[in-house]
Amino acid sequence: MIFQFIFVLASLCPGLLAATSSTPTPPSQDPWYTAPVGRYQPTWAVTTVLVPELGLNSTAQSAFNQSALLSYYIPYDSSSLDSSPSYTLYGTQYAQQLDAALALGLFVSVPDYEGPLAAFTAGVNSGHASIDSIRAVLSLGLGMNTNSARVAHWGYSGGALAAEWASELMVQYAPELSETIVGAALGGLTPNVSSVYGTVSGGTFAGLVPSSLLGLTAQYPEAREHLTSQLKDSGPYNSTGFLAALKMSVDEAGVAFAGHYIGEYFQNGFATFQSPIIRNIINRDGMMGYHGVPQIPIFSYVVIQDEVSDVADTDALVDRYCQVGANILHERNSIGSHLEEAYNSASAALNWLTAVLSGSYAAKYNSVGCTIRNVTRNGTISGV
């Protein structure tokens, strides 16, 4: 990865910098910040900040006046705290995209948006932690021109979940950032987690279901207790196997649960997820589009044959926002899979993000209303 410095931030009240620590290789600091969880109670979170080359002759200065911050959301998709980006970033498969952003001259913040409870797919928690990571970074500066800072979100799949919720919650939760956060690129969205459960169960991505259910209930002890009480005690699909997901990365869960019909772990099958205590949490924390309308430009990109989240769910979310005046470019790729789309449309996303961060968005894209189109794009085709 190409960077000048790494800082890891953590905080204790919304966006308030609480502490910093450092490690010798590579140069780094660990700053901590605070954020409310889904129940609007205070907690702490961490973000890792990558600083590009700075100075009068740097790209960061010439292209962005050292004022552009990309909040980048790694889809770590795990109910294990050990999968948090602040632990795993040095070996991340997303180094290529981070390198590209740094080479453009962008500061990059990579938050542990699931928080200290690893609350995977808990939307409100993820949105709050994401917004507060931006507050923390801006409060510290790190060589950034914060007087004219411009910030954009970028996430794919589980990362897009955090970025979308941050965009949705910003109006009510961070109105002071309305002129600072200027756009969000959201790829492979999962607007309805319960819909995802049905789509992936029995397939390659079945491991997302136990990780999500354990993540959603991480903030709600009574719901976690109810969930685990419904697991089978014996047989090939039992509580021990299900709860093992608490210690698994997304890749480990993918292997462990591949081909499993997750309803088989429960005494009442998928009906367990319709119990009021679980359904209320899913409705509150697992369904996008009900907490506000993004007031910033959105670039939504999705593959039509998505095997994780039905493209119709994303189309419906986009339509919902467009009906009330959102500014969205929504592109539906005709080729590739869910995993491939993360790379197939990365260049298009970076081009779009560069435009919103440089202030040239209105000159290059439709800045009013929605543009919805089908595209054919693979990793060798650049841009929009």
- Whats the size of the chain, residue-wise? 384
User: At which residue do the structure tokens 């019909």 appear?
Assistant: 261
Per the annotation, the verdict on 338 as an active-site residue is yes
Distance CA 352, CA 366 (A): 11
Distance CA 60, CA 99 (A): 13
Is the distance from CB of 274 to CB of 266 less than 8 angstroms? no
All residues at 6 or more sequence positions from 264 whose CB lies less than 8 Å from its CB, including other chains:
232, 237
Catalytic residue among 306, 310, 347, 358: 306
Catalytic residue among 211, 309, 338, 358: 338
Per the annotation, the verdict on 157 as an active-site residue is yes
Give exposure, 211-242, as e/b (b: 16+ Cβ within 10 Å): bbbbbbbbbbeebbebbeebbbeeeebebebb
Is the distance from CB of 348 to CB of 377 less than 8 angstroms? yes
Strands (DSSP E) found in the chain = 5-14, 16-19, 28-29, 32-36, 42-51, 68-73, 107-111, 150-156, 181-187, 298-303, 328-333, 370-375
Say if residue 41 is exposed, middle or buried (CB neighbours under 10 Å; 0-12, 13-18, 19+). exposed
Per the annotation, the verdict on 128 as an active-site residue is no
Distance CA 336, CA 379 (A): 10
Distance CA 10, CA 28 (A): 13
Report angle CA 150, 156, 162 to the nearest 5 degrees: 65
Distance CA 201, CA 213 (A): 13
Catalytic residue among 67, 157, 194, 358: 157
Catalytic sites, residue numbers: 157, 306, 338
